[in-house]
Amino acid sequence: MGSVKKERRHKPLYKSFGYAFKGIGVTIKEERNIKIHISVMLLVIIFGVWLHISTIEWLICFVLFGLVISLELVNTAVENVVDLVTTEKRPLAGKAKDAAAGAVLVAAIFAGIIGCIIFLPKLIGVFL
């Protein structure tokens, strides 16, 4: 006798998108850091329009926006899962949370450095 495989029904695609948008919305509503990232993203967009950055520079900015925001969402997921599993102070739980937060920090630092490379010369040109 072979193993009996349960047939798994997939949810409609629109429901999957709904869950994803719900997760984004809840994270934006409840997490301070993603609000900061979105605020910085909006400032970059405003400065990009004002300074007429190139198409390539826009593409770089949007890839970085996606990277930082996505990592912040994953960080929130990791923190919530760890908190769901244990309320005690446990070294492995702390390592998981710290590593997820560190991933966001690394991406944000590099996004900031790249932002400076793109924007500082243009800002200097405007004010000189």
Catalytic residue among 7, 72, 79, 88: 72
Distance CA 56, CA 125 (A): 19
Whether 72 is catalytic is yes
Q: List active site positions.
A: 72
